Amino acid sequence: MSNTPTPQGLTRRGLLTRSLALGCSAAASPFITPVTLASTPGDARLVVIVLRGAMDGLDVVQPIGDRALRQHRKTLSLGEEGGAQDLDGFFMLHPSLAPLMPLWQAGEMSFAHAVSTPYRDKRSHFDGQDLLENGGNSADGGMTPGRDGWLNRMLSLLPGAQAETAFAVGRGELLLLRGDVPISSWSPDNDMDLSPQAQLLLGQVWAQDPLFAAAGRTAMAISAARDVPEGMNTRTSQRAEALATFTAEQLSGASRVAAFSLNGWDTHQSQKGALNRALVELSTAILTLKSGLGPVWGNTAVLCLTEFGRTVRENGAKGTDHGTGGAALFAGGALKGKTVHGDWPGLNPSQLYRDRDLMPTADVRRYAGWAMRDLFGLALSDVESQVFPGVEMGSDPRLIA
């Protein structure tokens, strides 16, 4: 982690960091969930959740009104008979996101379909994730010269923006917020098998440090969640709840921007079960954010983004492979929601990208750019030239109320 001062609490923080063996993470691990935060002036809050592994947007936001969908998907659960929830008569929502339907009805959730970054054809998770977080304009996955993150570049444009410097646990840092503007990171990646006596000792260590205490309690909650059996998605739900609880605590204070990642979206085989687990985790995270933020939820936008979509046709293992066009999910009280944004390209063979993928009709960076413009008052010229170099913002999708 860079640019994080550790003033008077160095001894306590050093002791706890060494004792709990907290550290940084590798992008593909299903148990690693870094949370990165920064503070900005004003009341708006922005949360970015990176869905690592390439979410299948066609299964999550099902274009059931396109008759070709069922020709490509033979075994995956689709439509009303599969438990999906109607959104607008053309799109239906995967049944595992049914708990989020009240947000849709309240105008606090929306989607963008047939979107992608500029990345094309190579379909590498790591290159795709790097480009998503970097926000560059390269089709081959190359990053901007600074190799920094678009959220950090956004912070550099906000007068008075500063890092939340009250705590720094572990060494994890998302590329999204890497750059010249200082930020703080908290990243548990190892089990904390602590005896009752050790927990009492830690309670004394952080007794006078409420912010660090919150980080430690959340880390232990995530560790405890790992020990719960996988049945009924209990473990993933508890992990997501702990992460979102910690994030909501910080955003209810000085922090205004947060980013973390959720894994498990790479569904090459047995997609029905794997996607269900990932969606339960995402749903839990969003609902926990809403609950934890309370009245602050009304000023909050949550952007859930993935590196690329998946193939239109399911494979022989009842899954889908790496694709191009996909979907993004948006939530929050600051949204002008209840909309599936985008131009639908169609799923007939002649309408597919390279006869295999959903054709992208919009740059996903455009939606993130408009959200930042409306939340923080950025100039469109700055978004196009500095935050997302090369992006064409187009007309306002009216993502934010």
pLDDT digits (tens, 9 = 90+) for 332-344: 999 999 999 999 9
Q: pLDDT at position 218, please?
A: 57
Radius of gyration for the alpha carbons in the chain, expressed in angstroms and rounded? 20
Q: Pairing mode, if any, of strands 109-116 and 326-331?
A: antiparallel
Q: How many CB atoms lie within 10 A of CB 381?
A: 9
> Which of 167-176, 200-209, 215-224, 302-311 is predicted least confidently?
167-176
Q: How far apart are CA 78 and CA 149, in angstroms?
A: 36
Q: How far apart are CA 58 and CA 64, in angstroms?
A: 9
Any residues with CB less than 8 A from the CB of 289 and at least 6 apart, and which?
47, 244, 247, 248, 297, 300, 302, 331
- pTM attached to this predicted model: 0.83
The mean pLDDT value for 106-124 works out to: 97
> Would you say how long the chain is, in residues?
401
In this predicted model, what pLDDT tens digit does every residue of 9-40 receive, in sequence order? 333 333 333 333 333 233 333 344 568 877 77
Assigned token pair, 30 = 């299903």
- What phi and psi values does residue 261 have, to the nearest 5 degrees? -125, 150
Q: How many CB atoms lie within 10 A of CB 145?
A: 8
The mean pLDDT value for 186-211 works out to: 57
Any residues with CB less than 8 A from the CB of 106 and at least 6 apart, and which?
337
In this predicted model, what pLDDT tens digit does every residue of 218-240 receive, in sequence order? 555 555 544 444 444 566 678 78
Q: pLDDT at position 183, please?
A: 77
Residue 96 near residue 276, CB atoms below 8 Å: yes
| Nearest in space to 40 (alpha carbons), one of 215, 325, 328, 251 | 251
Q: pLDDT at position 220, please?
A: 55
Residue 87 near residue 61, CB atoms below 8 Å: yes
Q: How far apart are CA 91 and CA 110, in angstroms?
A: 12
End-to-end CA distance of the chain: 35
Q: How far apart are CA 382 and CA 399, in angstroms?
A: 19
Any residues with CB less than 8 A from the CB of 227 and at least 6 apart, and which?
191
CA atoms within a 13 Å half-sphere pointing along the CA-CB vector of 366: 21
* Domains identified in the chain and CATH numbers: 10-387 (3.40.720)
Q: How far apart are CA 337 and CA 297, in angstroms?
A: 14
Max Cα–Cα distance, the chain, nearest Å = 66
Amino acid at 372: M
| Nearest in space to 115 (alpha carbons), one of 344, 311, 356, 363 | 363
Residue 239 near residue 247, CB atoms below 8 Å: no
DSSP 39: B
Per-residue CA distances from 152 to 174, 203, 229, 356 (Å): 10, 34, 38, 35
Amino acid at 230: E
In this predicted model, what pLDDT tens digit does every residue of 146-192 receive, in sequence order? 999 998 899 888 877 766 522 222 234 578 888 888 876 765 544 44
DSSP 358: P
Per the model's pLDDT, the better-predicted residue between 361 and 217 turns out to be 361
